[in-house]
Amino acid sequence: MSARLPLFLRQLRCPPQPAGPPRRLRVPRRASSGGGGGCGGGEGLLAQQGQQNAQAGSSHGPGSREPPAWNVIVREVIQNSKEVLHLLQEKNPAFKPVLAIIQASDDNLMQEVNQNLAEEAGLNITHICLPPESGEDEIIDEILKINEDTRVHGLALQISENSFSNKVLNALKPEKDVDGVTDVNLGKLVRGDAHECFVSPVARAVIELLEKSGVNLDGKKILVAGAHGSLEATLQCLFQRKGSMTMSSQWKTPQLQSKLQEADIVVLGSSKPEEIPLSWIQPGTIVLNCSHDLLSGKLGCGSPGIPFSGPIAENDVSLLAAALRIQNMVSSGRRWLREQQYTRWRLHCLRLQPLSPVPSDIEISRAQTPKAVDVLAKEIGLLADEIEIYGKSKAKVCLSLLERLKDQADGKYVLVAGITPTPLGEGKSTVTVGLVQALTAHLNINSFACLRQPSQGPTFGVKGGAAGGGYAQVIPMEEFNLHLTGDIHAITAANNLLAAAIDARILHENTQTDKALYNRLVPSVNGVREFSNIQLARLKKLGINKTDPSTLTEEEMNKFARLNIDPSTITWQRVLDTNDRFLRKITIGQAGTEKGYSRQAQFDIAVASEIMAVLALTDSLKDMKERLGRMVVASDKDGQPVTAEDLGTPVFVHAGPFANIAHGNSSVLADKIALKLVGKEGFVVTEAGFGADIGMEKFFNIKCRASGLVPNAVVLVATVRALKMHGGGPSVTAGVPLNREYTEENIQLVADGCCNLQKQIQIAQLFGVPVVVALNVFKTDTRAEIDLVCELAKRAGAFDAVPCYHWSSGGKGSVDLAWAVREAASKRSRFQFLYDVQLPIVEKIRTIAQAVYGARDIELSPEAQSKIDLYTQQGFGNLPICMAKTHLSLSHQPDKKGVPRDFVLPISDVRASIGAGFIYPLVGTISTMPGLPTRPCFYDIDLDTETEQVKGLF
C-alpha cells in the first residue's frame, strides 16, 4: 500500500494535476461506532480502482460520467471552510476554532492527516494521547475534561474498535460532537433537524461522492453491510431522504447473499469476512468501503482484478470524510460565536396563584417551587461556564460575561428610593420586585432586580428579612435572608484577619529586635530567602529598589520590618454580622500572653466594613485587589498612613472547626451522603483534627453518638521527626532550619518518642476499633527508623503499620496502606463509647482526663464548679463533653511531650453549647481565639487577577 501524505498535501495546495493511479489513504472515521470522519478507525475505500476497472475490462456503465478527481473535491470543501472561517474572523479576529482529538491507539498517520487538513483550513488541533490499552473510564475522564474546556470547539475520538461504547460516545457534549456519534445528534438527524446537529462525515462523504459522480440515488437499492451504531443509522437516514430503498445487514445474516445480489450500491461498514464469496456481488455494483483495513494493505471487498466496478477512486471516502469533519468544525465554531452574542431571553415565568387572605411571606415562598438556577441561567442567555452554582436555586455569575457582552448596548437604569424611613418600613424591596415582575411577566420586557444581600443583624434584630414581601419577594426567602452564597461571612473573615494582623504586628514589633523581626518576616526556606510579592510591593512603596533580602542595609531592614503603628490611631475595627450592643466598646489584649499590650476597640456590623464598600464599588478583580490594598487602617508614629497592603492584603480565608477548641470533624450529613454514594463495598474517609486524644476522642464520643454511625477502622498518622521530638528532640520554630537530630538518623530518639504513638494506639483501642498506623515518610527518614516505628506500633496493638509515600508518589505511594485499611475494616467492629452520658459532668471529664490523657486526677476552679452546678441544675448534665485543651501535649502544658504522667488536669472554666449538644470545659490557659505568628501565611496568599485563582495556599 502506498500512503504518501506529503504528496497529498502538496496536491491540495497546488492546481489539479492529471489524474493518476489513486492512492490509498487512511480514513478518519470511527470503526464500529460508525462515527464520523474522525481519527481512528476507518478507511474510506471505493471497491474498484481505475486499474482494477481496466484489468477487468469494465466501464462506468451507461449514463455515467467521469468522476471528478478526489483532490479537487476535498480542496473544494477545505477552501469553503477556509472562506467561512475568514468571514467569522473578520468580526472576531482572535477567534480560531480548536479541534481536540483523543487518541488511544497506535495510529499516528491520522494525526498528521488531521493536523495538515486543519492547518490548510486555518484551525488548531490539540492532541491528547492515551496509552492504547486505556479503559473506558480513562477515555471518558478525558472526554469530560474537554467538554468543559471552553477553548475547544470540537472533539473526536481515535480509539480502538473495542473501546467504542454508548457510554463513551454519549459522554461527548453534543455541541462538540463533530463526528455525529452521540444519540442527541443522531436523534435530531432522524427527526429532520439536520441543520441543528452534526452528521457523520463518513456518511456525508458516501452520499456526496455518489452524487458528484453522477449516480442518481432516487429509486436505487442500497445495502449497508457490516455497519454498526451511528454510521449504520446515519447512512440509512440519508439514503432514504434521497429516495433510495435502503437495506441493512450484518455479515452473518442468512439473507445476505440475496441482498448483495439485488443491491445497486453496497456500502461496507466493516471488513468483509473471508467466507463471504465475492461472487455474491454482481458485476457493475458500486461498492464503497468504510471499513478500516486499507492502512494494512487489505481491501475489504477483495483484491485487484475483482470483476465489479465503481465510478469513484478508492480513497475518495476517506479524504472527503476528513475534510467534511473540518467543515463540521467550522460550523461548530460559528455556533459557538453565535452563542457568545447577546440573544433575547427565552424566559418561562413561573405562574402565581395568589390566595386571599395573603399568607405569610414564608408560606408564600415555600408554596412556590423555584426554577432550577441552571435552567434560569440558560433562559436569560448565560453560558454554562459563566455560572458557579450554589445548591439548586442560587449561582454566582462570572466576570467574563462583561467581556463577552462588551459590545452590547446598555439598557435603561432605574433607581427605587423611598421617603424618610420609619420603623414600619416602606417596602422598597417589595416595590422593586413587583416592578420587575410586571415588566418581565406581563410586558414581556427583559428586566432584572438588583438587590442587596440582607445582613443577619437586622434580620435577627428588628427587620425580619429583606427579600421583599407577599407575592413580590425573592425566593427561597430563607436562603436569601440567611447566608445566601456566604459573601458577608467572607467579608467578615477577611476584615477580622486584617484586624488581627494589626494587633499581632504591634505585639511582635514591641517584643523583637530589628534583626529577629526581619529574619522572621523573610525566613530562609530550603536554603532560599526571598520576598513575597506582597513584600516586594511594600519595598517599592518605601522606595527600596531591591529584591535580594540579603542586600538590605540595617536602616532599610528597620524601615521594611517596622510599621511603627500608633495604637491610638487605629481605625480598623473587628466586625460581626450580628446585632450585639455590648460589643460597641471593648478592651482587647488583657491576657497575660499579650505581654501587657491592651487597648480599647469595638465591633462594627459586618456590612459596615470597608471591604463591603470595596466589593460594591469595584469594577474588576484587579481593581478590587488594588482598592483592598489601599485601605488605610491606622497611622504610624510619624503620622503617615498604614495600609492593608503594608500588612498583606486579605483575600481568602479558610474556616473550619478546630479540634482543640471545637469538635474538629466534618459534618454528619456529608458522611451519611457519601456513605450512600459509595455503596456497600465503598469507603468514606473523613478526618478528625489534631491528635487521637483530641479529634478522634470527640469523633467517637460526640459525632458518632449524634450520627449513629459506627466506624470500621482508624488510621493513625505518624512521622519519624515528630516522634523524635516526643523522644526528647530539640524544639522547633517555624521558619528556622531543623536541627540535625531531625535530618539525620537517630534511632534512640525515635525509640523514645514511640511512647506517644503507643499511647495514641491505646486510646483508639479504648473504643474497640482496629488501628492501622500510617507512617508518613519524609526524604530524611532512614530505613532503620521506618522499620523501628512499624515494629513498635504493631507491638503496641496496631492491626498493621505501613510506611506511606503519597507525598512523593501520589496514590501509588499509599497502595499498601489501602490494602491494610481494607483488611482492618473487614473485621467485626467492637465499637463502644468511652463513657455513659448519664454520668455526672465531673465524672465524664475525669474519665477523659484519666483514660485518654493519662492524668492522675482533675482540679476544678471555683468558677468551673459553679458552672457545672448551674448546667446540671438546668438539665444539661446528660450531654457529652467537648474538651478545649492544647493540642501540643497529652497534658495541659504544651511543652510536655511524649507521655506526661502523674499530672493533675486543671479545669479553669466550663461553657455549654446547648444547640450543638455538648459541654465545653476549658483546660488550663487554653484560648478560644488563636493568635497570629510574626509572619502569617497571608503574606504568601494572593489573587491572580488573570486566572481568577487564589495562589499561595498549601
CA gyration radius, the chain: 37
Q: Report the distance separating Cα 520 and Cα 505, nearest Å.
A: 12
Q: Provide φ and ψ at 53, rounded to 5°.
A: -60, -45
Pairing of strands 857-860, 800-804: unpaired
Which residue type sits at 23? Answer: R
Q: How far apart are CA 584 and CA 690, in angstroms?
A: 35
Please say whether the beta carbons of 324 and 37 come within 8 A.
Answer: yes
547 catalytically annotated: no
In sequence order, the β-bridge partners of residue 909 are: 922
Is residue 428 annotated as a catalytic residue, yes or no?
yes
Helix (H, G, I), strand (E, B) or coil at 58: coil
Is residue 659 among the annotated active site residues? yes
> What is the grid cell recorded at 21?
493511479
List of residues 6+ apart from 258 with CB closer than 8 A: none
Phi, then psi, of 255 in degrees rounded to 5: -85, 15
The cell numbers describing 303, all together, are: 483484491
- Look up 551 and say whether it is catalytic: no
Q: Which of 428, 546, 562, 822 is catalytic?
A: 428
* Residues 102 and 157 sit within 8 Å (Cβ to Cβ): yes
Residue 395 and residue 484: Cα distance in Å, rounded? 10
Catalytic residue among 96, 335, 378, 463: 463
Q: Which of 516, 807, 830, 901 is catalytic?
A: 807
CB neighbour class for 344 (10 Å; exposed up to 12, middle 13-18, buried from 19)? exposed
The owner of cell 478526489 is 70
Identify whether 778 is a catalytic site residue.
Answer: yes
- Can you tell me which residue has the cell 523501628? 788
Contact status, residue 805 vs residue 777, Cβ threshold 8 Å: yes
CA angle centred on 214, ends 208 and 215, rounded to 5°? 75
Backbone angles phi, psi at 933, to 5 degrees: -75, 180
The answer to whether residue 928 is catalytic is: no
How many other CB atoms are found less than 10 A from the CB of residue 290?
A: 33
Beta bridge partners of 42: 27
Which of 95, 778, 831, 876 is flagged as catalytic? 778
Reply yes or no: is the peptide bond before residue 936 cis, omega within 30 of 0.
no
CA distance 179 to 702: 56
Three cell numbers at 157? 475520538
Give rounded-to-5 percent helix, strand, coil for the chain: 40, 15, 45
DSSP letters spanning 348-397? -PPPP---SS---HHHHHHHSPPPPHHHHHHHTT--GGGEEEETTTEEEE
**Catalytic residue (one of 430, 432, 492, 934):** 430
Sheet of 771-776: strand order equals 714-718, 771-776, 800-804
Residue 807 annotated to the active site:
yes
530-537 long-range contacts, Cβ below 8 Å, gap at least 24? 532/939, 532/940, 532/942, 532/952, 533/942, 534/645, 534/648, 534/649, 534/939, 534/940, 534/942, 535/560, 535/939, 537/629, 537/645
What are the residue numbers of the active site? 428, 430, 452, 463, 659, 690, 778, 807
